[in-house]
Structure 1
Amino acid sequence: MASALQAAYEAKIRDGSIRPDPAQAAALRPLVRLETDLGDDEPEGGILAMLRRRHYEAPRGVYLIGPVGRGKTLLMDLFYETATGFKKRRTHFHVFMGEVHRLIDAWRKGDRDARRRRFGQHKGDDPIPPVADLIAGQARLLCFDEFQVTDIADAMILGRLFEALFAHGVVLVATSNRLPDDLYLNGINRQLFLPFIELLKTKAEVVTIAGPHDYRLDRLRAAGAWFSSQDPTQVAAFDALWVEMLGPEDEDGETVEVLGRKLAFPRAAGGLLRATFDALCKVPLGPNDYVAIAARFHTVFLEGLPKMGPANREEARRLVILIDALYEARTHLVVLAAAEPVDLYPAGDGSFEFERTASRLQEMRSESWLEDR
């Protein structure tokens, strides 16, 4: 049977949406294999009949690993769009885990009737089996973008949760910037997380997209990284670049936890963050917060950056710390500002200290900086 996924990929090449890329083509093959496996894996009686079999083994999923901008999400989304005949779900991994924690909380806080209404009939107080049953009933195929594990609460439940999901016949496709062996690296009690890594490598084929070309970088190079808020055309260009970088993603929002505090960012998707100067620098954030932001997002769109002076010295100090954190993390920064970097804090008490930040902002908009990411 002809591959719908292969046909969709080749159609994108023909219409100019993408260009031929040997690394992408190589990574497409395991997804085509999975497409075939899923198509061949629906015996008479359906999935329930399969699960009643002894020694049933669901098709092996795919875990796409590679640097930013190589096309991992493109391939996964094409696979998801062309996969038919069963329930499926595609989301960012952090969104999924947020839902899992809310389901676990609902189970623990619910009385018997509330649990039955939401989860069906389950015995005992362990929340993992009913949560896994509910998720498996909603989707046989789970596609996750930006698979990463940095939170101890996630790490401690992933093994049991996915063991139960895989036992239900759920198939996983995921993109990540980290190899399975590097997930939750140096995390607290990581030894308890290691069985999940082995389970993941068993249940999903690890496929590397290691092409030299960064397509996300092409967009930044073409559009530039510094826009003037005084020019309506530039404002429109800043908005257009955000939409282009976002692609088909929804702005699901993101919550970053820092030392027990939660920072909410409503305009975020995967590794992309769009935030205002006021939201990042007019509130009492500190170095730990900015380091966490830089670690969580590979590209930050910063808008509403004003000209400053001594009256804004506290906000300017926070901006200095933010830029230092982004600079050290090699984060891409796209700015909508009222002035050029050297003119943001031109005179008065504090202007001398700001000169290094102005220099870093100038460097971070350069093509050499983008190339070095």
Structure 2
Amino acid sequence: MSSSSAASQSSPIAEASPLSLCAREPHVPADRLVAEMVPPPRFDSVRFSTYIPDPNQPSQIEAVDVLEAFAAGLGGAHASGAGKARRGFLGFGRPKAPKVPAGPRGVYLDGGYGVGKTHLLASLWHATPAEPSLKAFGTFVELTNLVGALGFQQTVQTLSGHRLLCIDEFELDDPGDTVLVSTLLGKLVDAGVALAATSNTLPGKLGEGRFAAADFLREIQGLSAHFRPLRIDGEDYRHRGLPEAPAPYSDEQVTKAAYATEGASLDDFPHLLEHLARVHPSRYGALTDGLKAVCLTDVQPIPDQSTALRLVVLADRLYDREVPVLASGQPFDQLFSEEMLKGGYRKKYFRAISRLTALARDAKSLVTH
């Protein structure tokens, strides 16, 4: 037996080197941006019937009722059977869901992070009776990227034939983008497109750590009459009744797991942050194509706000795609400074911590195995 054969049999580490996010510089054509305006993999199979409301939060069950009725108003069968069974199980014997008034052509889901707004938004997309090519789902950032790639008029033409446009994480911290998207939505409403949205916190409007519907309606200017606000109260479901996130692992554990896991990437965290500055956030989804796990060494607190906001986008794309994250260094709840967690982007950072913690929990098996 050759020495190389003996080495390959004795080593517990896979021969192939892990992938590297820092080595990737994806280019995303405009037609891919349009084709990918569907619920991401994590929300591909969600439905109203799979939403698990907190029995202590009646507003969560009411939101399901109203959204089911909204889908029915768009021409679909009202999925009332599952809703009735769920309400009976939880003891909420309420009357039949109210119909959405004929006036509003949109709904706005107002609530904190982790109450299931994206789950409900994706469920609405799935329940709307139209071919996938006639309904669109994307984040606010993805929508502005689409306008940048196609141009405003072409984006209007592309989306005008749709029955429904769902916008997750509507961002109001950039006045220019807000006016741009508000104008776009006005054109789409005129074309008969129904709208649904969730939103991020406006700087200085922290309140309870959630965004206020009145602020959303004011920021989208003349579109307020087209939206019906739905407040959804509750705690972050990602950590409801679950054990605490695992503590960070050692560099050696993370490296070994990366080599032993097919389709895993391995990057030094500070270098990854530098690389993200060279890749447009619209390409972060493509940056994660084909990854089965992300392994990071030397996780450190984020040095500045621009870097922090880029990491938030990457965390969202990894969460959407259900990519576990194994890390060494500092725990994820220490990524953002106290000043950041009290500032205008507070809600984004808490969402990133919540999602990265969930992905870290998913990655435990990489080391266990």
Q: What is the TM-score when the length of structure 2 is the normalising length?
A: 0.50
Larger relative contact order, structure 1 or 2 (CA cutoff 8 Å, min sep 6): 2
